[in-house]
């Protein structure tokens, strides 16, 4: 059967390194001992352990399986968060220039909302290794309610992982839909928190100093949240799934040198973020939440 078929090569490999199963986290150790983890992924795990940051991240089960599928995930998250901080802070500064220091709390609320969204946009479509398929199908609220979710790729353009059957067109389309729902939820929640916090700060400041001019016009929390959630679930979802597919299928093959891959991936992500910013402004104008300046 499937169980135990990889231990024949993994066991001698670990013995040759003078390593034991005790070096692995409990959950991963069980899969390795059961022979469910191919040698290539055991080797990748040991390589990733050489980095202090990776060692810490590899202790998180969900993150570990994503890193084993894509060792560059931490870099991609770092790039996306870095780009998010720079672009958002720059935009906030330009928007609030004369009063930036006075409105630093508003800027921070908006930045926090954006960073939550940026993290999920990269994390959700990232491929994940599943070694114990039978166990994975039995765990999780989402899997219990909708068993078909476990059979879907993490993004519509994902390569077929080792030990898994090829994905059908329906499954790939399903990945777009499921991630879209998740991102809609994340986007709506993040926007709700950010907009509500901004409105509260505005009201508090107005009450403390009634004579001061209003620096921010209160926004419709529900309308703004649903709009941002919809934008993330449709526009951002499509862009980031396509980006994940391009990186996995083409960029990783064309740029095998880690430094070159990092440079190209970073440039593509900057371009994608810039494109997303332009499209978000267009969306706001389309629904009348940001009137276009005349002249």
Q: How far, rounded to the nearest angstrom, does the alpha carbon of residue 199 sit from its chain's CA centroid?
A: 28
Of 266, 240, 287, 203, the residue nearest 75 (C-alpha)? 266
Of 17, 38, 253, the residue nearest 130 (C-alpha)? 38
User: Tokens 């777009």 appear where?
Assistant: 176
Q: Cβ distance 187 to 231 under 8 Å? A: yes
User: Tokens 């040198």 appear where?
Assistant: 257
* pLDDT at residue 295 is higher than 50: no
Question: Tens digit of pLDDT for each residue in 132-172?
Answer: 766 655 555 555 666 778 788 889 999 887 777 899 999 99
- For residue 19, the model assigns a pLDDT of 83
Determine the average pLDDT of the residues in 57-64: 83
Question: Tens digit of pLDDT for each residue in 37-48?
Answer: 999 999 999 999
- For residue 214, the model assigns a pLDDT of 65
Determine the average pLDDT of the residues in 98-110: 73
- Give the least confident one: 32-36, 101-105, 269-273: 101-105
- For residue 1, the model assigns a pLDDT of 43
Of 142, 165, 144, 85, the residue nearest 118 (C-alpha)? 85
- For residue 116, the model assigns a pLDDT of 84
pTM of the model as a whole = 0.75
Determine the average pLDDT of the residues in 55-68: 86
- For residue 220, the model assigns a pLDDT of 85
Question: Tens digit of pLDDT for each residue in 257-281?
Answer: 888 988 998 899 888 988 888 888 7
Q: Cβ distance 24 to 36 under 8 Å? A: no
Question: Tens digit of pLDDT for each residue in 230-257?
Answer: 999 999 999 999 999 999 999 989 998 8
- For residue 100, the model assigns a pLDDT of 74
* pLDDT at residue 103 is higher than 80: no
Per-residue tokens: 4: 């135990």
Find the helix or strand (DSSP H, E) in which 115 lies. helix 104-123
User: Which residues touch 237 (CB under 8 Å, ≥6 apart)?
Assistant: 176, 179, 180, 183
> Residue 201 and residue 216: Cα distance in Å, rounded?
10
- For residue 93, the model assigns a pLDDT of 77
* pLDDT at residue 129 is higher than 90: no
Question: Tens digit of pLDDT for each residue in 167-223?
Answer: 999 999 999 999 999 999 999 998 898 888 888 887 887 788 877 666 667 778 899
- For residue 168, the model assigns a pLDDT of 93
- For residue 134, the model assigns a pLDDT of 62
> Residue 57 and residue 174: Cα distance in Å, rounded?
29
């Amino acid at each position: 059967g499937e169980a135990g078929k990889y231990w024949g090569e993994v066991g001698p490999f670990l013995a040759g390194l003078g390593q034991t199963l005790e070096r692995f986290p409990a959950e991963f150790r069980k899969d390795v001992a059961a022979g469910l983890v191919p040698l290539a992924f055991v080797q990748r795990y040991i390589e990733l352990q050489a980095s202090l940051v990776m060692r810490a991240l590899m202790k998180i089960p969900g993150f570990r399986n994503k890193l084993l599928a894509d060792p560059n995930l931490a870099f991609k998250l770092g790039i996306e968060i870095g780009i998010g901080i720079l672009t958002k802070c720059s935009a906030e500064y330009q928007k609030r220039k004369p009063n930036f220091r006075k409105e630093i709390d508003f800027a921070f609320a908006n930045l926090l909302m954006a960073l939550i969204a940026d993290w999920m946009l990269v994390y959700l479509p990232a491929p994940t290794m599943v070694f114990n398929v039978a166990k994975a199908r039995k765990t999780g609220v989402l899997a219990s309610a909708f068993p078909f979710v476990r059979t879907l790729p993490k993004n519509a353009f994902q390569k077929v992982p080792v030990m898994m059957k090829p994905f059908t067109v329906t499954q790939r389309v399903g990945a777009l839909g499921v991630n879209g729902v998740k991102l809609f939820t994340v986007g709506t929640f993040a926007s709700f928190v950010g907009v509500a916090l901004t409105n509260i700060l505005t009201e508090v400041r107005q009450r403390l100093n009634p004579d001061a001019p209003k620096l921010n016009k209160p926004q419709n929390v529900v309308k703004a949240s649903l709009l941002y959630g919809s934008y993330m679930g449709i526009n951002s979802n499509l862009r980031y799934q396509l980006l994940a597919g391009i990186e996995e299928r083409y960029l990783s093959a064309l740029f095998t040198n880690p430094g070159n891959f990092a440079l190209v991936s970073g440039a593509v992500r900057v371009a994608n973020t810039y494109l997303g910013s332009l499209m978000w402004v267009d969306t706001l104008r389309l629904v009348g939440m940001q009137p276009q300046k005349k002249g």
